[in-house]
Structure 1
Amino acid sequence: MSKSKQKQSTLARTISLKVALSIGVGIMVGAGIFVFPGIASGQAGPAAMLSFLLAGAIALIVALCTAELATAMPASGGGYYFVSRAFGPFWGILIGVGQWMGLVFASSFYLYGFASYLIDLLKETGLQFGDPLILIGIGTALLLTSINILGTKSAGKLQNSIVLVLTGILTLLFLYGMLQALGIMGATNLPKPFAPKGLSPVVGVTALIFTSYLGFVQIATVGGEIINPQKNLPRALVGSVLIVTALYLLALFVSNSVLSTAELGELGETAIVEVARGLIGDIGAMVVLFAGLLATLSSANASILSSSRTIFALSNDGLIPKWVSVIHERFKTPHRALFLVGLPITGIMFVGNLEVLAETASMLHLLIYGLICGCVLKLRKNRPIWYVPGFKSPAYPILPIVGLVASFGLIFFMRPVSLLLGGAVLLVSALFYLVYARGKTLATPSPSHIAPELRKPRILIPVSLPQKESLPLAILRSFTDLEVLVLGYKELPEQTDPGQYKDEEGDESKKQLEKVKKELEDEEFDVKTELVFTPDVSQAIDNVIVEHDCQALLVVKPISQLNRLLIPVYDINQLSKRFATVIYELTTASNLPASLLFLSGSKDSEDSEDKDGADISVMKREAISRLKQAGIHKHQIKTSLVEVANISDAVKEESKPEDLVILVEANANERETFINEIRGEISDKINCPLLVVLEKREKEEKQAEESPAEEQE
């Protein structure tokens, strides 16, 4: 890896669609059902359902915008990652720290609620243990942090199980209440009057209860670990908002059918317990207390998981110290980032009353939501070459503008003390940026449709020993990230025994190969080496390519400066995903032009000339289109025509010493013949390096397609 690039830690994709949904639903389903029905109904009556519907509509708009950004940038960090790539590191660190601390505040609030529900549930059973709220909260915070450190799969299974049980209990309870209210079971008792205090309180209540929708964006925070993100991220984001909105409306409808507006307002945050008691007696109260226990536990667990990924992303980008993003060698989780979430939560638990901190978390998240909508507006307008979303939010630009205005607008309905606390978090973040992170640059996202294994290509460099040609470091430095495999070889005469030669000259060849390796390691590339003594170099190269699954072969020629990529186009099928990936890496990192060289061949008649010209015109359009789809900017693509039919003659005629000629093998099953042709004809005729993009053989491709499916199962 080049020293000009930062080595980044990566997390495995282990989160399924079900777990992703449970993260979003798990964070949101707590306050919306177990705290706000009584408070909201007390202020607006049954019309509070409109408040939840309005908040859900705003959340859905933000979810659609988030889905677009997440499919273009399916990386850990969510809102932080999107904002930092659209608006730069300063806004990124404001949002990153805000997202981190917002979720820490929210987690403390959830765990305080968890302890309260546990104590109340024990009281319902006749057990009394005093009032150890803080100890229960701290113990649970440490337990959840430990579970998350042990593995994302373990945390995901816990989250999925909790949310399934929780939503099942709530759905059955509220469906029973709805059947009663509609008169299907017992006498009809619909909520009325609908708006006893008019419709004016609806907007104010929307700002109050928007805390209920803090959670769906956290699905994007773990986007770097979600399986098949192009499909599962939009489904999880939109699906989680729709599920919780339906549950909230059902809860409000049933609550207002069982108790009056005055009773709900008087009971406040405990109203839902009395609603359940009114439906099915004391057992109902115990069921709701148990469900509340699950809801707050689920919200805390999902918040801890998501918050740690924000810190992980900040550290990976170098905006906070790099040691934070170290991944545990055994558990493959960001254990240090998780500690930086779990420990602050245990400290904040000593504050006691955390409602203000919860509202501060809402304020910070509304700021994030507004900027997420702003990201869509900016990136759609600027169209950077890496922005290739697999999902696009509808009704652009109307929906993003509405989401931005609505998110920022709700902030002004919050209490001054919450605004001051949120402002303090942002101020500290800004000061930290000026002291530590000022001047930092961020890596450009890779197009999301390029397979992850191709974003770090393994390039094979055959080197004849002793080394005759200098290594093309100018080319290797152009890659964002890569692994170099050096094949040191000694080509022997047919009659020479390789084993005997190895015994006699092997030590000297090893020293020569180590010298080549050290030169590359001094440039901070990831380097592996192989040493062979053989009369058939082409076969040896073929064997190493298959054994190590190399994506490209670089034929060494001296080069001091790389100015252009020269790409002979002889078959449109050569512009495969793997081929486009290599071109993307080279053009993005160095802003080099990609010059497509079309071979017209010889002309025997005017008719054949017209036909060939038409074929080449079609090929040009298709080639340019494919490269643009891969994320290469139009201004970097040049085309030229050479009237020869032979590739070696074409590159000899057009190439310059500062070029890199790029070829792709036409048939991977005939690789050895192709390598012989490259070494014996093409390479000898040109004075510049040659990069050959290698395709998988049919058998290897089939095995590769089957492996991911087996792993997911």
Structure 2
Amino acid sequence: MSEGRQVGYRREIGWFGSFALGYGDVGPNIFIALGVITLYAGGAAPIAFAIAALLYATVGLMYAELGPTYPYSGGVHVYGLKAFNSVVSFVAGWAMLLAYIVCISLFAVAAAGYLRQLFPVLMFPDITVMGVTIPSIGVLAGLLASLLILLNIVGIKYSAFMVSALVFVGLFIEALILSTGFLLKFDPQLFLRQLTEFGSSQLQRDVAYLPFLPVETNNFLYAITLAMASFVGIESISQAAEETRRPHISLPKAAKMVVVVVAASAIAFPVLAIGSTDWRVIAAAYENPIYTLVSTYPYVGELLMPLVALAAFILCYSSSNTGVVGVSRLTASMGRFRLLPAWLQAIHPRFRTPVRTITVFGGIGVGLAFLGDVTFLASVYAFSAVISYLILGFSYFRLRRLETTVYRPWCMPLCVNLRGREVPVLALMEVSGMAVILGLMAVFHAVGRVMALLWVGAGLTFYALYRKRAGMNVLSRDEAALVEPLSYRIRVGVLIRPYENIETAYRSITHSFDRRFDLTLVTVVEPSRWFGGELDKVGEDVVNDLEALEKRLKHDKYVVDRVAAVGEFEEKVSELLESEKVDLIAYIQRRPEKSALEKGHEASIHNLLSKYPGRVISLKRVGE
């Protein structure tokens, strides 16, 4: 293989595999988040989850639009690079990199918590080394995370099939827990009574309290910000964009399905928990809340507990591994766009894995896992992700404004017209909501705030030194040219003959063009072909036919307008092409038996083909 040749990803992930990657990264969050959020939100935990779920839905829908439009591995940092510059791209990617690192540690701790329920012998005393106390769960989590790092260095096959199988397990277990709980344990009166308890009344060490607000209000607001940790991970879909078959179809479908399934799960579990037992019981068991919830079930609780613990351990440990995989993919993407040095992407000669990336960033994750501090890790996890999500929102709006000719296979719904521009309401909600959440985090998350600032500051310093040493500008838009959209919108003028069969025209157009094409339906009425008294009637009929065809195509979400012109065919079509209102002219082929009736017409087509090479195409006639 030549040195300069780049090897691309194999596109082998279908829409369900893409869904599995997104759900597999986000779905297990509820196994740890339920207890942590309830610890702060109290009985109003379902409300905190619902607010976060609404914002999560807007983030997911942004990825559903941007992912297939710019199908590159890397996600938000790629969109930031295309919309702004290399510095914004680096901050977005570096913040998401922190989220992946914390994902390794947080879910290693969660896996350790459920593993101790399966094997109580692992509940050993805390260990003190040189005056520093390491919690026993942290020791176990650190060992689990270390094993993952070793396995990823040696090289493991983490196939889309394996992820899909784990997703089936997760969905089955969650459905079993929810259905059994609502059937046997849920008490609507208990739920309504506890739902009004907004926030825990206990002071918590992780919250920077505002003195002018009650403790309960402080804790509830903190819980809303922390609830974002329940939804970090949907960017895994975009991280695998270059490995996804038919990304223009698979990515939006997968992202929307993940949004629906995860949001429903994240709201159903706290509703069930608050309606089944005292919220303080769930809060006290924040290391294994689902296990504790199931233990309160009558009749089947003891049977389900081992199954739930095993499934939760597998899913949380799998989610920890996706953090390692995410680190590898993200750093590779950032290196590709010259945001990180190539040194990090060095491949081990024997194992063929990015050993330096995994060792450096995975090692940080292992160190954090030894802390065994779920609330601290969840705070940093949410803080880093929200920074990236806010950049995602700003990038979305800027790309919408700048890249007007880009083809977007799917667009966010609920748009309003502001000063002649179409603006999605949900996107406005995402940006404003994330800005508020980030502001609340800056106020309440004292430790997370310091950790995030130190991480971003250290990263920017490293980035600036690397770029200077490599002879590149620190602030640059040169790399944005490397990010090409899937396709651009193409303007096509479709020639419709007078009295053409509208059904045939509709089928021929939809067979040949998808929605990346902006269509202009064109009919030219030539006076020389009609008697004087017929011309007005022909003109009316042509307009009616064009309106009917335009209506059908718009119903199918095509962008369509129409032109009815009177004059010589070749002259009018030439005027349209010269005006640059269309990029191409397309005409529908005639049936062989009718071609003799239009020899003059066909001669004009041949003249246009010669005069405008490459800009006149024929469409297969479909439907007759």
| Shorter-normalised TM range | 0.5 to 0.7
Rounded to whole Å, the distance in 1 between the matches of 2:291 and 2:492 is 72
> Is the aligned partner of 1:50 residue 2:50?
no
Counterpart position of 1:205: 223
Rounded to whole Å, the distance in 1 between the matches of 2:528 and 2:387 is 64
Q: Which one of 139, 143, 167 corresponds to residue 147 of structure 2? A: 139
Rounded to whole Å, the distance in 2 between the matches of 1:67 and 1:566 is 27
Rounded to whole Å, the distance in 2 between the matches of 1:321 and 1:622 is 58
Count of aligned pairs between the two proteins: 545
Rounded to whole Å, the distance in 1 between the matches of 2:282 and 2:550 is 64
Q: Cα distance 1:694–1:123, how it changes in 2: closer, same or farther (>3 A)?
A: farther
Residue pairs, 1:311-322, within 5 angstroms: 311-317=331-337, 319-320=339-340
Residue pairs, 1:16-27, within 5 angstroms: 16-17=15-16, 19-27=17-25
Residue pairs, 1:430-469, within 5 angstroms: 431=464, 434-435=473-474, 439-442=478-481, 443-447=483-487
Q: Deviations over 1:366-388 (max 9, x none)?
A: 12223333344445555611053
Counterpart position of 2:174: 170
Counterpart position of 2:428: 401
Counterpart amino acid of residue 440 in structure 1: E
Counterpart position of 2:382: 362
Counterpart position of 1:345: 362
Rounded to whole Å, the distance in 1 between the matches of 2:271 and 2:523 is 68
Rounded to whole Å, the distance in 1 between the matches of 2:76 and 2:168 is 26
Rounded to whole Å, the distance in 2 between the matches of 1:654 and 1:288 is 67
Rounded to whole Å, the distance in 1 between the matches of 2:547 and 2:87 is 40
Rounded to whole Å, the distance in 2 between the matches of 1:325 and 1:622 is 57
Rounded to whole Å, the distance in 1 between the matches of 2:234 and 2:242 is 16
Deviation at 1:211, TM superposition (A): 0.6
Rounded to whole Å, the distance in 1 between the matches of 2:346 and 2:586 is 37
Deviation at 1:173, TM superposition (A): 2.9
> Is the aligned partner of 1:12 residue 2:7?
no
Q: Which one of 13, 18, 26 corresponds to residue 28 of structure 1? A: 26
> Is the aligned partner of 1:246 residue 2:285?
no
Counterpart position of 1:492: none
Instruction: Check conservation: 1:570, 1:599, Cα contact below 8 A.
Output: no
Counterpart amino acid of residue 223 in structure 1: A
Structure 1: give runs of 5+ residues left out of the alignment.
1-5, 451-564, 585-593, 671-677, 699-713
Does the residue aligned with 1:441 lie in a helix, a strand or coil? helix
Counterpart position of 2:420: none
Counterpart amino acid of residue 56 in structure 1: A
Rounded to whole Å, the distance in 1 between the matches of 2:307 and 2:264 is 20
Deviation at 1:266, TM superposition (A): 3.7
Instruction: Check conservation: 2:64, 2:255, Cα contact below 8 A.
Output: yes
Q: Deviations over 1:115-168 (max 9, x none)?
A: 55445533369999x9664343222244357777x5xxx521111111221232
Rounded to whole Å, the distance in 1 between the matches of 2:523 and 2:480 is 35
Rounded to whole Å, the distance in 2 between the matches of 1:171 and 1:250 is 10
Instruction: Check conservation: 2:65, 2:408, Cα contact below 8 A.
Output: no
Rounded to whole Å, the distance in 1 between the matches of 2:101 and 2:167 is 21
Deviation at 1:169, TM superposition (A): 2.2
Counterpart position of 2:419: none
> Is the aligned partner of 1:63 residue 2:69?
no
Q: Cα distance 1:600–1:307, how it changes in 2: closer, same or farther (>3 A)?
A: farther
> Is the aligned partner of 1:92 residue 2:89?
yes
Counterpart position of 1:426: 456
Does the residue aligned with 1:268 lie in a helix, a strand or coil? coil
Deviation at 1:269, TM superposition (A): 2.3
Q: Cα distance 1:191–1:141, how it changes in 2: closer, same or farther (>3 A)?
A: farther
Rounded to whole Å, the distance in 1 between the matches of 2:165 and 2:43 is 32
Instruction: Check conservation: 1:40, 1:209, Cα contact below 8 A.
Output: yes
Deviation at 1:31, TM superposition (A): 3.6
Instruction: Check conservation: 2:588, 2:621, Cα contact below 8 A.
Output: no
TM-score, normalised via structure 2 length: 0.66
Counterpart position of 1:510: none
Does the residue aligned with 1:440 lie in a helix, a strand or coil? helix
Counterpart position of 1:416: 446
Q: Deviations over 1:50-77 (max 9, x none)?
A: 1112211221232233323335444433
Structure showing greater relative contact order (alpha-carbon pairs closer than 8 Å, 6 or more residues apart): 2
Does the residue aligned with 1:211 lie in a helix, a strand or coil? helix
Q: Cα distance 1:48–1:654, how it changes in 2: closer, same or farther (>3 A)?
A: closer
Q: Cα distance 1:654–1:209, how it changes in 2: closer, same or farther (>3 A)?
A: closer
Q: Cα distance 1:684–1:169, how it changes in 2: closer, same or farther (>3 A)?
A: closer
Counterpart position of 1:481: none
Q: Deviations over 1:453-474 (max 9, x none)?
A: xxxxxxxxxxxxxxxxxxxxxx
Structure 2: give runs of 5+ residues left out of the alignment.
126-135, 202-215, 417-423, 468-472, 593-601
Deviation at 1:106, TM superposition (A): 1.4
Counterpart position of 2:76: 79
Deviation at 1:235, TM superposition (A): 4.0
TM-score, normalised via structure 1 length: 0.59
Rounded to whole Å, the distance in 2 between the matches of 1:21 and 1:261 is 32
Does the residue aligned with 1:216 lie in a helix, a strand or coil? coil
> Is the aligned partner of 1:390 residue 2:410?
yes
Rounded to whole Å, the distance in 1 between the matches of 2:437 and 2:271 is 24
Counterpart position of 1:536: none
Rounded to whole Å, the distance in 1 between the matches of 2:304 and 2:220 is 29
Q: Cα distance 1:212–1:688, how it changes in 2: closer, same or farther (>3 A)?
A: closer
